[in-house]
């Protein structure tokens, strides 16, 4: 799809059921068992999509989150699975072509594709020519969590291989709450889901077109009017506040929202239904 001068694509890794301890199991869309469209009640297995986002403009190739990274490691037991590299290939791109990587936060389902282990058991950087943009607060929070054993928050992070980004000077640790990545692409610190969580705004003012990628602040259209991510949010109040402000802004701008974890509408424009609740008018990504 187009947002002004930007082309936006989704790099879908598929649909997954999430079990205790953050175990992901890939399922086909016909296998989805649980109630998924409405508010989950945790009486069933949550089902999520994993959809990193690709933004293209001229020579700039910008990746928003890097997915689960299944099948990237040379010794991986996952074969024939879609991941960053296979999905970039669909658009005629190689990992070397990517110029910027934005990580909304460092939970492994958003960041694990950033690196991979080669056949000599060495960690490599998946997008070797890109810089990886992360909030400084997120980086240090993740390290702190990962170092504490018996810490539930630590199970969301797999930091061992991400240190390679730091070692090779590929990390850009952001301290600004609003950071201009490129003209028309802003990174906005929201906190909430994790202390250093950030979102991405893509806009072309001349065309008057706007899009937001809200990461885990708004993982899918099912989360629009509900706050059931609360149990997963480090600071639910901050998350709710940030979400309220951003949704109001996105509604006023008639912006397109891009979802990472949706299994239905992958993108859509906000409107208010007869109950004054937010709803999504799905947008077909292939236009």
Rule CB under 5 A: which residues touch Zn ion?
107, 216
**Least Cβ distance, residue 233 to Zn ion (angstroms):** 9
**Least Cβ distance, residue 225 to Zn ion (angstroms):** 20
**CB neighbours (10 Å) of residue 9?**
19
**Least Cβ distance, residue 33 to Zn ion (angstroms):** 23
Q: Which is nearer to Zn ion, 216 or 221 (CB)?
A: 216
Q: Which is nearer to Zn ion, 109 or 221 (CB)?
A: 109
**Least Cβ distance, residue 261 to Zn ion (angstroms):** 9
Asked if 130 and 101 count as a contact pair (C-beta separation under 8 A), the reply is yes
For Cα atoms 94, 59, 178, give the angle at the middle one, nearest 5 degrees.
105
Q: Which is nearer to Zn ion, 117 or 142 (CB)?
A: 142
Q: How many helices (H) and strands (E) does the chain have?
A: 5, 19
**Least Cβ distance, residue 115 to Zn ion (angstroms):** 18
Q: Which is nearer to Zn ion, 107 or 164 (CB)?
A: 107
Q: Which is nearer to Zn ion, 4 or 236 (CB)?
A: 236
**Least Cβ distance, residue 219 to Zn ion (angstroms):** 8
Asked if 68 and 261 count as a contact pair (C-beta separation under 8 A), the reply is no
Asked if 104 and 51 count as a contact pair (C-beta separation under 8 A), the reply is no
Pairing relationship of beta strands 185-189 and 198-204 according to DSSP bridges: antiparallel
SS3 percent helix, strand, coil of the chain, rounded to 5, is 25, 30, 45
**CB neighbours (10 Å) of residue 203?**
21
Q: Which is nearer to Zn ion, 53 or 269 (CB)?
A: 53
Q: Cα(200)–Cα(108) distance, rounded to whole angstroms?
A: 19
Residue with tokens 């598929």: 14
Strand residues in the chain grouped as ranges (E):
2-3, 6-10, 15-19, 23-27, 47-49, 53-57, 60-64, 100-102, 115-117, 123-125, 131-135, 171-174, 178-182, 185-189, 198-204, 209-213, 256-258, 267-272, 278-282
Q: Which is nearer to Zn ion, 107 or 266 (CB)?
A: 107
Give the nearest residue (CB) to Zn ion: 107
**Least Cβ distance, residue 97 to Zn ion (angstroms):** 27
């Amino acid at each position: 799809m187009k947002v002004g001068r930007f082309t936006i694509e989704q790099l879908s890794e598929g649909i997954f059921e999430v079990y205790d301890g953050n175990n992901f199991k890939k399922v086909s869309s016909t296998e989805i068992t649980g109630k998924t469209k409405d508010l989950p009640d945790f009486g069933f297995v949550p089902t999520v999509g994993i959809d990193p986002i690709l933004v293209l403009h001229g020579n700039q190739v910008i990746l928003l989150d890097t997915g689960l990274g299944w099948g990237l490691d040379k010794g991986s037991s996952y074969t024939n699975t879609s991941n960053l590299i296979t999905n970039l290939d669909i658009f005629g791109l190689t990992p070397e072509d990517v110029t910027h990587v934005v990580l909304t936060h460092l939970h492994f389902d958003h960041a694990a594709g950033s690196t991979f282990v080669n056949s000599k058991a060495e960690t490599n950087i998946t997008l070797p020519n890109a810089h990886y943009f992360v909030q400084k607060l997120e980086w240090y929070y993740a390290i702190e969590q990962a170092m504490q054993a018996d810490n539930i928050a630590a199970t969301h992070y797999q930091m061992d291989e991400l240190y390679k980004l730091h070692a090779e000077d590929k990390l850009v640790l952001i301290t600004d709450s609003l950071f201009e990545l490129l003209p028309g692409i802003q990174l906005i610190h929201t906190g909430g889901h994790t202390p250093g969580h950030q979102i991405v705004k893509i806009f072309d003012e001349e065309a008057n077109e706007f899009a937001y990628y809200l990461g885990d602040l708004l993982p899918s259209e099912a989360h629009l009017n509900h706050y059931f991510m609360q149990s997963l949010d480090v600071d639910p109040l901050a998350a709710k506040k940030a979400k309220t402000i951003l949704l109001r802004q996105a509604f006023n701008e008639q912006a397109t929202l891009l979802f990472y974890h949706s299994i239905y509408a992958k993108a859509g424009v906000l409107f208010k239904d007869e109950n004054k609740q937010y709803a999504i008018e799905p947008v077909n990504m292939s236009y």
